């Protein structure tokens, strides 16, 4: 699929089929996420790959969004501020690690779409609950929870802001 088609086709899906994601698709997805750009090529982020039902349920509780547990696969993205701070100091700790994790999660969403899978960005959650659910170190910052699977719904496209409001020209 052409990138522009893929972007237009992507939807936020909150209902998943009871069907596992094939191991080769998971490997492809993670291999391509690993190609995401990052500040200083430090990859100041960490990914938890979750398929265990009890952990999926804990993540759903941490986000207060029960549908998350339906997805056969969940990727949880954490910023690793210390990794970036070693080279970039405060800016790396407070910004670059967050950006690195965000870019990687966005790559995951687009790759999932390209592989015939669906997902939705979950950013509303209890940080401590997400951290505890996956037993992540306390100095990592949870950035996004991505439930991934085969869609059991086909949402309509969301409305978008008018480009005249969004883009500010300085000609």
Question: What is the residue whose two structure tokens read 């496209």?
Answer: 157
CATH of the domain spanning 12-152: 3.40.109.10
CA-nearest of 109, 129, 111 to 119 is 109
**pLDDT above 80 for 152:** yes
Q: What is the DSSP string of 139-164?
A: TSEEEEEEEEE-BS--PPPPP---HH
Better-predicted residue by pLDDT, 109 or 157: 109
Distances (CA, A) of 124 to 44, 80, 116, 147: 21, 19, 25, 13
Q: Quick one: tokens of 94?
A: 């407070």
Residue-wise pLDDT for 28-79, tens only, equals: 999 999 999 999 999 999 999 999 999 999 999 999 999 999 999 999 999 9
Tell me the mean pLDDT in the region 77-96.
Answer: 98
Per-residue model confidence (pLDDT) at position 125: 98
Give the whole-angstrom CA distance, residue 9 versus residue 156: 10
CA-nearest of 72, 122, 119, 80 to 97 is 80
Residue-wise pLDDT for 97-140, tens only, equals: 999 999 999 999 999 999 999 999 999 999 999 999 999 999 99
Per-residue model confidence (pLDDT) at position 161: 94
Per-residue model confidence (pLDDT) at position 1: 67
Task: Kindly report which listed range (116-130, 138-152, 156-170) carries the lowest average pLDDT score.
Answer: 156-170
Residue ranges of domains in the chain: 12-152
Q: Quick one: tokens of 98?
A: 């967050």
């Amino acid at each position: 699929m052409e990138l522009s088609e893929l972007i237009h086709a992507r939807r936020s899906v909150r209902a998943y089929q009871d069907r596992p994601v094939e191991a080769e698709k998971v490997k492809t997805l993670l291999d391509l996420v690993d190609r995401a750009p990052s500040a200083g090529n430090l990859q100041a982020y960490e990914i938890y790959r979750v398929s265990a039902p009890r952990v999926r349920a804990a993540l759903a509780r941490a986000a207060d969004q029960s549908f998350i547990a339906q997805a056969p696969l969940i990727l949880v993205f954490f910023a690793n501020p210390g990794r970036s701070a070693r080279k970039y100091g405060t800016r790396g700790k407070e910004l670059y690690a967050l950006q690195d994790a965000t870019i990687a999660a966005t790559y995951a969403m687009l790759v999932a779409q390209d592989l015939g899978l669906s997902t939705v960005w979950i950013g509303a959650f209890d940080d401590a609950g997400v951290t505890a659910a996956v037993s992540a170190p306390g100095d990592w910052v949870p950035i996004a929870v991505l439930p991934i699977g085969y869609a059991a719904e086909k949402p309509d496209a969301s409305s978008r802001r008018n480009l005249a409001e969004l883009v500010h020209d300085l000609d």
